[in-house]
Amino acid sequence: MFAYAALGAFHGLNPAMGWLFAVALGLQERRRVIVLSALPPIALGHLASVAIVVAIVGIGRILIDPTVVRVIGACALLAFGVYKLGAARMHPRWVGMRVGFGDLTLWSFLMSSAHGAGLMLIPVLMHRAPVTHVAVSPLAGHSDAPGMLVGGLAAVAVHTFSFLAVTALLATLVYEVFGLGLLRVAWVNLDALWAGALVVAGLVTLAMATGG
């Protein structure tokens, strides 16, 4: 579970994932409570984005040969990483600064999906205990299914809690102590770092899947 928590913390560090938006909302209204109230829907949207990928990988591990799942996951990581390296800052911009719970949740879901947050969990998911591939009626009475469901839920919960903790910490520190001026002197291009991590994770996963 440490890997899920570490990835959640890494996602929380990225200002594009939500803490910067929460701080901006708080500064606009000049109220700390606005910063804090923005965090639950941001975490919920991130959770939904990650949970979809975890569910797809979990089902795929039952229905499809594990090696095929690993290759597909590796190719998805590589393709998305290359896309992120070459693409401009293509973030959803349809949301205004007057937003409600649903708006923030949807914005966070789209932002997390656009950054491939769930895809980053694929290498970790692929290294969980292997399951037996079943060609006929794979979901019916599959002995590993309950354990996989519990494991998947636990992974998403740990990941989301870590993401929320780091996001809340950064949003509070920037709002209360440093201010947005911090970004002028301490900005790190996390988009480039993120894209590079996707590519590296894809290459490692593909090498392990093919025995290279």
**Does pLDDT of 191 surpass 90?**
no
Contact partners, residue 103, CB within 8 Å, separation at least 6: 95
> Mean pLDDT score of the chain, rounded to an integer?
76
Contact partners, residue 142, CB within 8 Å, separation at least 6: 62, 131, 134
pLDDT band at 141 (very low <50, low <70, confident <90, very high): very low
Per-residue model confidence (pLDDT) at position 205: 73
**Does pLDDT of 175 surpass 90?**
no
Per-residue model confidence (pLDDT) at position 140: 47
Per-residue model confidence (pLDDT) at position 144: 59
First-last CA distance in the chain? 27
Per-residue model confidence (pLDDT) at position 139: 46
Stronger pLDDT, 5 or 15, i.e. the higher one: 5
